[in-house]
Amino acid sequence: MWRKFFLQTVIIFLMLCSIAAAINFAVDPYNVYRSARSVGFNFFTDVAQKHERLFKSIALIERRPSIVVLGNSKADFAVDPKIFGADSYNAAVRNMQPLEMLAFARAALRINPALERLIVAVDYEMFAYDEESMPGFDPEQLSADRITLGNLFRTLLSYDALDASISTVKLNRFYRRDFTSYEPDGKFSEPALYELFTFENSFVHNSNDLRAWTPPAPSMLERKFDAFRELVELCRSSGVELTVMILPVHRYHLESYPPAAYHWWQKKLTSIAPVEDYVSICIDNGIFDDEKNFWDAAHIKAAALEHYICARFQ
């Protein structure tokens, strides 16, 4: 009797797991499986915004791009990888740290030894933030050739994934959004940016938050520069063309940087690698103070930046 009960229990459990996995795969709330998207069902994946590090790690494995963009939200929001060619991918994630950037660069080169170019967008905040990596950073996934078993379980069989799938379907049924969070090439989509910054509804909130930051310990800062230096050496030794750029910010945001610390950072950075400073370019061309060119004081719009990047790469 107990064997029959045990067998029935196992069968029911496996059926429930299969149903949950099927739902999570079909909805694909974390944007991992490239499942078909349908308006009113799963077209807009709001949850994916909190799992960039996961789905962009897996996208690198699947796409094996020859040109990769790295950076934090400034690059995620403003750098259109199509500028650099069709086989390009924007692997920038919010609040990316130098150690994470190095891990993504290693993964991109390991997955595609013929990697041609790395576009690295850095800023003062990466080095002023008192953390080496952020939640969701997964070195094991970046070292793998396919989705790891742990992430397979988290995205298909976990309660969090099922809850994310249900939330995604509810959101899409209620709002029926006809735009995605991310473009296929990894860039955060323009309609999603309009929604994000309308919701946040403050032009200076990131800048004001930055003014309250506590500077990192000297040892932390040195580890960050070591990671950046190692990334530069990795590209040199592998024959990968490296472009390091500082993306523009509004004058208000630039003034939130401690002047002495910012200039020291610039000098230290340029002693390691040549840097294209688009902040200076924006000052010279008059878009530095115009709020229409920025989502908020910390994030420039792609349309305002594209001309200057195209002029450099075409």
- pLDDT, tens digit, 9 for 90 and up, residues 114-125: 999 999 999 999
Q: Which two tokens stand for residue 119?
A: 């576009």
CB of 181 within 8 A of CB of 44?
yes
- Where residue 314 falls among pLDDT bands split at 50, 70, 90? low
Place of tokens 């340029």: 270
pLDDT in tens, 3-58: 766 676 777 777 878 888 889 899 999 999 988 898 989 898 888 989 999 999 99
Q: Which two tokens stand for residue 162?
A: 């099922």
User: Residue 255 — φ and ψ, nearest 5°?
Assistant: -70, -10
Q: Which domains does the chain have, with CATH numbers?
A: 61-145+179-313 (3.40.50.1110)
Taking every pair of Cα atoms in the chain, the longest distance, rounded to a whole number of angstroms, is 83
pLDDT at 101: 96
Kindly report each contact of residues 10-18 with a partner whose C-beta sits within 8 Å and lies 24 or more positions away, as own/partner: 17/157
